[in-house]
């Protein structure tokens, strides 16, 4: 029992120390972000589902030196909530992604959340942000009328250094 308490205390202190050393933001590799698009949520849903299907296999992994725009798997889609996973092609880490779509006036508000399944993941070079942004960009939603984004390092691990052309 004492060994378990020591390990838990060590892990807690290590996580706190890493957060202190690397600045504010989530203690676990993850991202919470919001987007708004000037179109109906049914159109946003269709665009995202089509992009997930397009990037579901390993084919896109092979284009360019490094490409993570592949290996998306839709797990469920019901009541405006889409749950999916993204697997990194090199290390095969799995991230859980959720999009929640809500109609607001003449636009669609998208709450996005992506988190690493690996329990010890702390830093991710913005991968969890890119898991979501790449789908929005690939589906053309980032160029749609009324597009806005709210994301920061406070809610998105390493958002400011994310390179979504790579991740």
Task: State yes or no: pLDDT of 73 exceeds 90.
Answer: yes
For residue 24, name the pLDDT band (cuts at 50, 70, 90).
low
Find the DSSP H helices in the chain.
2-22, 41-54, 127-138
**What's the pLDDT at 67?**
84
Q: Which of 123, 42, 113 is nearest to 83 (CA)?
A: 113
Poorest-pLDDT segment among 24-28, 125-129, 136-140, 156-160: 24-28
**What's the pLDDT at 2?**
54
Report the distance separating Cα 113 and Cα 15, nearest Å.
21
The stretch 89-107 carries a mean pLDDT of 94
Task: State yes or no: pLDDT of 42 exceeds 80.
Answer: yes
| Residue written as token pair 């989530």 | 26
User: What is each CA distance from 56 to 52, 62, 97, 99, 128, in whole angstroms?
Assistant: 6, 13, 14, 17, 17
140: left (phi over 0), alpha (psi -120 to 50) or beta: left
82: left (phi over 0), alpha (psi -120 to 50) or beta: beta
Tokens of 80: 């405006």
Task: State yes or no: pLDDT of 23 exceeds 60.
Answer: no
Strand partners, 136: none
**What's the pLDDT at 27?**
86
**What's the pLDDT at 59?**
85
Poorest-pLDDT segment among 3-17, 25-39, 64-78, 89-103: 3-17
The CATH superfamily assigned to 24-161 is Kinase associated domain 1, KA1 (3.30.310.80)
CB atoms within 10 A of CB 6: 10
- 20 versus 137: which is more confidently predicted? 137
- 148 versus 121: which is more confidently predicted? 148
Residue-range domain boundaries for the chain: 24-161
**What's the pLDDT at 165?**
84
């Amino acid at each position: 029992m004492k060994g378990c308490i020591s390990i838990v205390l060590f892990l807690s202190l290590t996580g706190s120390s890493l957060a202190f050393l690397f600045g504010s933001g989530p203690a676990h590799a993850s991202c919470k972000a919001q987007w708004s698009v000037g179109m109906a949520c049914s159109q946003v849903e269709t665009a995202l589902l089509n992009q997930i299907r397009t990037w579901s296999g390993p084919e896109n992994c092979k284009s360019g030196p490094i490409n993570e725009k592949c290996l998306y798997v839709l797990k469920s889609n019901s009541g405006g909530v889409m749950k999916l996973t993204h697997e990194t092609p090199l290390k095969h880490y799995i991230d859980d992604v959720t999009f929640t779509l809500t109609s607001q006036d003449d636009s669609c508000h998208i709450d996005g959340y992506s988190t690493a399944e690996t329990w010890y993941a702390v830093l991710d070079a913005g991968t969890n942000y890119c898991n979501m942004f790449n789908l929005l960009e690939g589906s053309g939603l980032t160029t749609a009328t009324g597009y806005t984004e709210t994301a920061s390092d406070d809610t998105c691990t390493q958002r400011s250094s994310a390179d979504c052309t790579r991740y």
